[in-house]
A and B are shown apart, each in its own frame.
Chain A
Amino acid sequence: MREAIRRWLATLGGSPALPLTLDRRRIFVLPTGPGLAFGCALLAMLLTAINYTLSLGFALVFMLAGLGQVALLHAFRNLYALKLRETMPEPVFAGQHASFPLWLDNDASRPRPALQLTMAGADPVTIDLAPQQSRAVMLRVPTTRRGWLSPARVTLDTRYPLGLIRAWSYAKPAQRCLVLPQPESGRPPLPATAAGEAGVRPRGEGSEEFASLRDHRAADSPRHVAWKTSARTPDAPLLTKQFEGSDGGDLWLDLAQLPATLSLEQQLSRLTGWVIDADAAGLHYGLALPGTRIAPASGPAHRARVLRALALHGLPA
């Protein structure tokens, strides 16, 4: 019943798609629990004032009733003309929290304190906006499965200033967060052997074999820095160890090569872990999935592409 009313309320005031400016049709107001208690107390006070003919008692009760009315307007005003927009969330691994960024833009010259954003599954976030301030709010939602994760409807509400009235509005973000497979923990090391071994077909020489030293570049992984060499000659620039595999050898991560005893999710999980390892090792690696082949390469863009393919494997894009 409550949910039905909530859904009906959400249909009022037009589509809650972002970006959104909260206008009067989108903002709902109702008394809170303390607000209802306040009303009951006022009634009791009114009866006392009538019974004892307390003129100033009447004045007090009426003043507080007016205060309730003012609280309603101010709660409404705290949301009125507030702008909401969204930006795309960063991909996360399953098991981590997906963070959905929502931006609140306060164009007004007054502050908007105590704004609360709530989303099913997310911890509520309370923020205060200074005059003409824009702030991003991260709604963090735990993830369990790989694939796209769409946030639920967001409720923006405020009880400011008196806590007697709650004004709220709904927004439906169009965001989706890419949830990557969870990297397998305790996974076997990156296969370093010749073609034919499980899942890995290295091209060229063994990737672990040290080949030469060259000047350090900012993008090089710290684990490839020749620390010992550098320590001997502290004035010389840092040097990076070059491995055979990182130059010429291509690593193929192939789903079909993994043991069939693993479920698909476990296989994807292992491959994800290997992608992280291969990327950290600065290897050239490619991905082979049924129906998808990504040629070997390296770098953050490639890593993102490969992980995305793993995340969406077998799911609708």
Chain B
Amino acid sequence: MKWRRTTAPRVAAEPLDQSRIAWLMAVAACALVPHGSHLPGWLIAVAALLFTWRVAQWKLGWPGASGLVKLLVVIACCAGVSLTFGRLFGREPGVALLTLMLVLKLHELRSTRDGHTVVLLGYFMLLTAFLYSQTPAMAATLGVSMTVITAALIALTGPPAAPRALLRHAVWLLAQALPFMLVLFVLFPRVPGPLWGLPLDAWSGTSGLSDSMSPGSISQLSLSGAIAFRARFEGDAPPARDLYWRGPVLSAFDGRTWRQGSSAQRIGDGVPHPVPGRALAYEVTLEPHNRNWLFALETVSTLPADVRVSDDWQLLGRDGVRTRRRDRFESVLGARPGIEEWSGHLDAARQLPRDGNPRARQLAQTLRAASPADTVEAGLRLFRREAFVYTLTPPLLGEDGIDAFLFDTRRGFCEHYAGAFVFLMRAAGLPARVVTGYQGGERNEVDDYVVVRQSDAHAWAEVWLEGEGWRRVDPTAAILPSRIERGLADLPAGEPVPFVARVDLGWLRSLRHQWEAANNAWNQWVLSYDQQKQRELLSRLGMSQPDWRLMTIWLASLCALFAIALTLWAMRRSGSADALARAWSGVDRALRPAGLGRETWEGPLDYAARIGRLRPDLAPVLSQACRLYADARYGAAPPAAATRELKACARALRRQRTPPHQ
């Protein structure tokens, strides 16, 4: 017999039993499944193999992995990770290595300490799953996973219990943790990340407008119902036909593809010059698209501090938009910027390739009119007069695409019209450029946000006119005015209308609005809850000047309040037997002021007999009370009913305790 130290026994060294091992395997499964969609295939295979092996060891009594096997697996997988990702550090390799650690840890579950390691790794894996997806569905999945992991933690500590009971207990504990979570979430001072340089692979796979336009690029994008951004206006939203969200401006043309020109590079501070007119204020919540341009209505007049604007009035953030971002802009609709444009930019806006598209050049000469404004009008009239068709599926164009489009196929999407129009204007000697962006947007009645989708992607033209500045000309509006009024829903019959844009499915549309409003609320209030949103919310809650000190004080106070409430709950007396004892002591309290209290050594029946001798007037009620208590406590009588009757007896005794006057 060894004499042990007086310290607490080392629970950590306890071996794990089979049911706890089963729980730990459930932890690993719950932590790994959300990662299945993005881990490399070979790693999933290795993890599944190791996991199955462990299950076989548990269920079928297979031999476990030896130290050598584990070492080889680690070496092979590290090599695999560095081959797949090109390095061993960073987000993706980190998650891959965590996965590996978790699965290998299952093969060395010797003590409770190992169990705790698995649980902590499991919690950490849940966090890393949020790096890839933060949808409500993912949150719900991980909520379930968190419950399972917490149940495993209870199983590690507590006595053996049925899985259902453990899960219920975990839910109960998490429900109590919820108020703390909410308080911390709202009040924990948010630091704008990142704290340190993010690995290169932090962002990937987003869609949106690009910095070039060739036939087909925008119509391809239009098929996507994905949301590009949402806007909320302070006041009423303008009609959809006035909503031109400016994106990349393309002023260089090589005969086939339009690209950004020199004016996109020259970036000044603030807007190039004040924009007169009544400004419209709104907030844009932009989905990540991994490029650095932002979208605002033409023509922007007020910018947030960290947004700059190029010479061609394109808004640029400092870095690529990799997380959802929110900016407040002011714009003056219908303003014509650039009256005094630098001649270098104007020259660039007249450039055409030396040859190619001869018929178009010829046509342009016929459009030349007395004034530039008339030339523009003549160009638009051309599109209106001739039989042009607006279609999402234009035929392929080969060499001299603009000629082929203008004279042969005459079927095209907005990029064809904008490109051809700008070409004609340039050939006619006017400075012109292509502007890409989004046009319109759909107001969601549920939350009053204007939703702009990839299907609203659009291209239009800008022509510079002496004394007027850059005038927006949308040739698409000349072909198909309804495109501008109502979006893609009014494409000619037979056209493959993007599913999200169809109007005929009214109920589906309203369902979609509800769903998107919920999504937007999730994005706005949960995912994009940042410093700005935090201040906004706290001010709305009546906290003037919310800074981190005030927030910390509130945070601590509210957490303390919840902790105290929980403590009081923990310390309250409970249970039916307790209730019986309380009711019984109520009888004692009723009689004690009259000097008739029960002695500590007295049983209920003795007590009744003694008081009955002293005060015969109390005897009937008291002896009934004592019998009730004795039967409930020591006999088979149900305590609940006895408790009720005992309380009634105590009340009666309190009334009777003063001796009757002689």
A76 / chain B contacts, CB cutoff of 8 Å: 567, 570
In the complex the two chains form, is A66's CB within 8 Å of B181's CB? yes
Q: Using a CB-CB cutoff of 8 Å, which residues 181-199 of chain B contact chain A?
A: 181, 184-185, 188, 191-196, 198
CB-based A-B contact count at 8 angstroms: 197
Residue B343 at the A interface, CB < 8 A?
Answer: no
Is A12 interfacial (CB-CB < 8 Å)?
Answer: no
Least distance between A120 CB and chain B CB atoms (Å):
4
Q: Is the CB of B193 within 8 A of A120?
A: no
Interface assignment of B497: CB less than 8 Å from any CB of chain A? no
A261 / chain B contacts, CB cutoff of 8 Å? none
B330 located at the interface, meaning its Cβ lies under 8 Å from any Cβ of chain A in the complex: no
Q: Is A192 an interface residue (CB 8 A)?
A: no
- Smallest CB-CB separation from A68: which chain B residue? B177
Bound complex: CA of A38 vs CA of B150, how far in Å?
12
| Interface size bracket, B side | 35 or more
Inter-subunit contact B184/A152 (CB<8 Å): no
Size class of the A contact interface (CB-based, 8 Å): 35 or more
Q: Are A58 and B173 in contact (CB under 8 A)?
A: no
Interface string of B1-33 (1 = CB under 8 A from A): 101111111011000000000000000000000
Residues facing B in A56-81 (CB within 8 A) are 56-67, 69-71, 73-74, 76-77, 80-81
The yes or no answer to A131 lying at the interface (CB within 8 A) is yes
Residues of B within 8 A of A70 (CB): 173, 176-177, 180, 566
A57 adjacent to B153 (CB under 8 Å): no
Query: Which of A34, A110, A168 has most B Cβ within 10 Å?
Result: A34
A162 to B169, CA, bound (A): 11
Bound Cα distance from A55 to B136, whole angstroms: 12
B573 x A81 contact (CB < 8 A)? yes
Cβ–Cβ contact A77 & B570, under 8 A: yes
Q: How far is the CA of A292 from the CA of B584 in the complex (A)?
A: 52
| Contact, CB under 8 Å: A121 / B134 | no
Report Cα–Cα, A97/B154, bound state, in Å: 34
**A52 with B153: in contact, given A62-B185, A69-B563, A160-B158 (CB under 8 Å)?**
no
A66-B179, A67-B174 as given contacts; A161 in contact with B571, CB under 8 Å: no
Report yes or no: B180 in contact with A69, Cβ–Cβ below 8 A: yes
**CB neighbours of B130 from chain A (8 A):** 49, 54, 56-57, 60
A45 at the interface (CB under 8 A from B): yes
Tell me which of A111-119, A183-191, A207-215, A230-238 binds B. A111-119
Task: Flag if B528 contacts A50 (CB, 8 Å).
Answer: no
Say yes or no: B578 contacts A58, CB within 8 Å: no
* CA A101 to CA B578, docked complex, whole Å: 25
Tell whether A51 is near chain B: CB-to-CB under 8 Å: yes
User: In this assembly, does B127 line the interface, its C-beta being within 8 Å of a C-beta of chain A?
Assistant: yes
With contacts A66-B179, A161-B154 taken as known, whether A56 is within 8 angstroms of B12 at the C-beta atoms is: no
| A107 CA / B575 CA spacing, docked (Å) | 8
Does B371 touch A at the CB level, under 8 Å? no
Report A128-162 residues with CB < 8 Å from chain B CB: 128, 131-132, 142, 152, 155, 157, 159-162
The answer to the question of A163 belonging to the interface, with a C-beta cut-off of 8 Å to chain B, is yes
Contact call B156/A152, Cβ cutoff below 8 A = no
What are the residues of chain B within 8 A of A152 when measuring CB–CB?
6
Q: Is B55 an interface residue (CB 8 A)?
A: no
Docked Cα-Cα span, A168 to B139, in Å, equals: 37
B177:A67 contact, CB within 8 angstroms: yes
In the complex, what residue of chain A is closest to B184 when comparing beta carbons? A62
Q: List CB contacts (< 8 Å) of B292-327 with chain A.
A: 323
Q: Is the CB of B127 within 8 A of A33?
A: no
- Is A168 in contact with B8, judged by CB distance below 8 angstroms? yes
- Contact yes or no, A58 B154, CB < 8 A: no
Q: Tell me, rounded to whole Å, the shortest Cβ–Cβ distance linking A126 to chain B.
A: 9
Q: Once bound together, how far apart are the Cα atoms of A3 and B176, in whole Å?
A: 36
Report the Cα distance A93→B528, complex, angstroms. 73
A80 CB contacts on chain B under 8 angstroms:
570-571
- Among B333-349, those with CB < 8 Å from A are none
* Interface set, chain A 239-288, CB cutoff 8 A to B: none
Partner of A66, one of B128, B177, B526: B177
A194 at the interface (CB under 8 A from B): no
- Given A45-B124, A60-B130, A66-B184 in contact, is the A55-B526 Cβ separation under 8 Å? yes
CA–CA, A166 to B177, complex, Å?
A: 18
Q: Determine if A107 and B529 form an interchain contact, defined as CB atoms under 8 angstroms apart.
A: no
Chain B min CB distance to A53 (Å): 4
A31 lies within 8 A of chain B by Cβ = no
B134 contact from A44, A54, A62, A113, Cβ within 8 A: A54
Tell which of B127, B527, B578 touches A108, judged by Cβ atoms closer than 8 Å. B578
The reply to whether A71 and B173 form a contact with Cβ atoms under 8 Å apart is yes
Q: Could you tell me the distance between the alpha carbons of A46 and B237 in the complex, rounded to whole angstroms?
A: 39
A264 to B196, CA, bound (A): 78
Q: For residue A41, which residue of chain B has the nearest CB?
A: B120
User: How near does chain B come to A110, taking the closest CB pair, in angstroms?
Assistant: 7
Task: Check A88 for interface membership: any CB of B closer than 8 A.
Answer: no
Count chain B CB atoms within 10 A of each CB in A50, A56, A64, A155 and give the residue with the most: A56
Question: In the assembly, what is the distance between CA of A132 and CA of B323, in Å?
Answer: 55
Closest-by-CB residue of B relative to A158 is B157
Rounded to whole angstroms, the CA-CA distance of A113 and B176 in the bound complex is 19
**Which residues of the partner chain A approach B563 to less than 8 Å between Cβ atoms?**
69, 73
Minimum Cβ distance to chain B for residue A85 (Å)? 15
Provide the residues of chain B in CB contact with A109, threshold 8 Å. Answer: 574-578
A49 and B154 CA atoms in complex are apart in Å by 26
- Write the chain A residue with the least CB distance to B173: A70
A37 to B179 alpha-carbon distance, docked (Å): 23
Rounded to whole Å, the gap between the CB of B91 and the closest CB of chain A is 8
Nearest A-chain residue to B138, judged by Cβ: A56
A155 and B8 within 8 A (CB): yes
Q: Chain A: which residue is nearest B1 at the CB level?
A: A142
Q: Which residues of A contact B528 (CB under 8 A)?
A: 55
- Name the residue on A nearest B579 (C-beta): A109
Closest chain B CB from A37 CB (angstroms): 6
Q: Which residues of B contact A65 (CB under 8 A)?
A: 177, 180-181, 184
Contact with A38, one of B5, B7, B112, B120 (Cβ below 8 angstroms): B120
**A171 CB → nearest B CB, Å:** 14
Q: Is B142 an interface residue (CB 8 A)?
A: yes
Q: Which of A49, A56, A120 contacts B6 (CB 8 A)?
A: A120
Q: Does A47 contact B (CB under 8 A)?
A: yes
Which residues of B lie under 8 Å from residue A161 when comparing CB positions? Answer: 154, 157-158, 169, 173
Interface CB pairs A-B, < 8 A, 30? A37-B120, A54-B130, A54-B134, A55-B527, A56-B130, A56-B139, A56-B526, A59-B526, A60-B146, A62-B181, A65-B177, A66-B177, A67-B177, A69-B177, A69-B563, A70-B176, A70-B177, A70-B180, A71-B173, A77-B570, A107-B578, A114-B159, A120-B3, A120-B5, A155-B6, A160-B157, A162-B173, A163-B153, A163-B156, A168-B8
A residues touching B (Cβ–Cβ < 8 Å)? Answer: 2-3, 6, 24, 32-34, 37-38, 41, 44-45, 47-67, 69-71, 73-74, 76-77, 80-81, 97, 107-110, 113-114, 116, 118, 120-121, 124, 128, 131-132, 142, 152, 155, 157, 159-164, 166, 168
* 9 tightest A-B CB contacts, nearest first: A109-B575, A66-B180, A66-B177, A163-B157, A62-B184, A77-B570, A34-B116, A124-B9, A63-B181
